[in-house]
Structure 1
């Protein structure tokens, strides 16, 4: 297994029309979650990815597991909770550039994850273990599960990749800051955005944000800069990799997850850290061009086309 990730994925409903959701009469059902976005992204790029989670014993959970499995992601560690439901969320596309997300995940099956749900051998055989700051925010048992999983990963030399992925509505600012800082201190690679840098250290300059993470214990830091690309900081080198221009951003949700998938794909392929960051930028850009969390995640030929500036819009 190349990458193992853990976290909640939910059923996503999106109105078939733009504007206020109150006026919508028809919705499309999809699936979305930061961790499975990364896993699917890696799978489409030819890597082996596995997902640890829980779903409800309901039609949503069954459909979700079938979908993720259909993307060639290993779901052998996804358990079924007989008492709690699969989480649901809605994405409101009011107009271009104005996307709002509403979550209905309280007491969901995934929020009931416990350390007993972890398989040590499963995590141990991965090259990277990917986590986000969303999962520990769901419940105390989820937070304990993440810490137990990190302990397993470190015991077996599995590199820990942490995306803070701040969700302010899920917990208090004080608790969020404390937990995110602790998790970042345990990470081999941390992937904050400017928002997380501001929240955790009251800094908005990429270098200052990275310095704070490095002093906090993180081994490598990549600060995501949106359309401007990303800045990377390792013990040996640092730099800024420009982003890829996008004519129109259709849906920005999931771009950071696409970046993580692209970065990890590059590292798995033996690319240098700067080249892996460049690959992450390319995947993130492609994700923003398509509506949906995973629908825009590219395959290898699409990345190569973008990175080589080829125009391959028409296939005959």
Structure 2
């Protein structure tokens, strides 16, 4: 196993062509969850991934497992919860406004994850543990699980990557800071967005944020700056890597997860940090060019062709 990750995955509903759900009836159902998005992206690139969660004994839980299994992800230890339902979400896109997400995940099966669910061997066998800030926001037991996994990763020498994925619909920023900053201080690879770092640090200027990250003692930070690119902060140095131009953005949701997976893939392949960031940018570009969180994710061959600048039709 290369990567172990865990968290909540939901079935996401959205309308076609940015139509309003109020005025139209047709919807598109897909699988959405930060950790499973990263899992699918890494699996498509040839990595061995184990994903753990709880899902309900319902069609939505079965759809999630069907999707992840189709990509060769190890879901063998996922718990089927007979008492709680799989979480759901509705995603409403507007042409001239930000995408609005409505959650139906309170008391979901995944929110019942706890330290009793974890198996030490999953951590011992992994090279890297990927954690997001969504999981500890779901419940007290989920937060305890996150810190337990971190302790095990430290004990057995697994690397920890952490994407804060701040969701202010799930908790307030003060509570988020209390939980997410201690997690960040224990990770090996930190993957925040620029706006997330502003929220966590209460700072605005990049130079101040860079000093804050140094004070937190994080070995490597990749700070995403949206469509502009990403900053690499390591050992007091900073490097900016621009992103790829996307002429037509179809759906921006899932871009951060695709970026994380692309970067982690490069990191695991021992590529330079700059080349790993370019892989992250490329995966994000693929995703925003298609609808859904994972439909556009590239295979390893497709990623290589894109980075090499290949064009035209394969015959």
TM range (shorter): over 0.9
- Between the two proteins, the alignment pairs up a number of residues equal to 315
Shift of 1:289: 0.6
Q: How far does the alpha carbon of each residue in 1:233-264 deviate from its partner, in whole angstroms, 9 at most, with x for none? A: 11274301110000011111110100110011
Q: Aligned partners of 2:145 and 2:214: how far apart in 1?
A: 25
**Aligned pairs (5 A) from 1:188-203:** 188-203=188-203
**Aligned pairs (5 A) from 1:110-129:** 110-129=110-129
Q: How far does the alpha carbon of each residue in 1:270-291 deviate from its partner, in whole angstroms, 9 at most, with x for none? A: 1012211111111111111111
Q: How far does the alpha carbon of each residue in 1:38-80 deviate from its partner, in whole angstroms, 9 at most, with x for none? A: 0000000011011011001111101211111111111022111
SS at match of 2:18: coil
SS at match of 1:74: coil
Shift of 1:96: 6.4
Are residue 85 (structure 1) and residue 88 (structure 2) matched?
no
Number of the residue aligned with 2:267? 267
Moved more, 152-161 or 205-214: 205-214
Number of the residue aligned with 2:295? 295
**Aligned pairs (5 A) from 1:49-198:** 49-95=49-95, 98-198=98-198
- 2:214/2:236 contact within 8 Å kept: no
**Aligned pairs (5 A) from 1:2-81:** 2-81=2-81
SS at match of 1:267: helix
Q: How far does the alpha carbon of each residue in 1:124-151 deviate from its partner, in whole angstroms, 9 at most, with x for none? A: 1111100000000000110000000111
Shift of 1:91: 1.1
- 1:189/1:218 contact within 8 Å kept: yes
Are residue 225 (structure 1) and residue 201 (structure 2) matched?
no
- 2:14/2:28 contact within 8 Å kept: yes
Q: Tell me which stretches of 4 or more aligned residues in structure 1 moved more than 4 Å.
A: none
SS at match of 1:309: coil
Moved more, 33-42 or 54-63: 54-63
Shift of 1:299: 0.9
- 1:210/1:221 contact within 8 Å kept: no
Q: Aligned partners of 2:231 and 2:153: how far apart in 1?
A: 26
Q: Aligned partners of 1:38 and 1:210: how far apart in 2?
A: 26
Q: Aligned partners of 2:257 and 2:207: how far apart in 1?
A: 22
Q: Aligned partners of 2:86 and 2:125: how far apart in 1?
A: 28
Q: Aligned partners of 2:245 and 2:251: how far apart in 1?
A: 15
- CA spacing shift, 1:169–1:188, aligned 2, 3 Å: same
Q: Aligned partners of 2:91 and 2:226: how far apart in 1?
A: 20
- CA spacing shift, 1:97–1:267, aligned 2, 3 Å: farther
- 2:92/2:100 contact within 8 Å kept: yes
Q: How far does the alpha carbon of each residue in 1:180-233 deviate from its partner, in whole angstroms, 9 at most, with x for none? A: 111101110111111111111122333432331231132211100111111001
Number of the residue aligned with 1:204? 204
Q: Aligned partners of 2:17 and 2:284: how far apart in 1?
A: 25
Q: Aligned partners of 2:70 and 2:211: how far apart in 1?
A: 41
Root mean square deviation, CA, Å: 1.4
Number of the residue aligned with 2:246? 246
- 1:41/1:262 contact within 8 Å kept: yes
State the TM-score, normalizing by the size of structure 1: 0.96
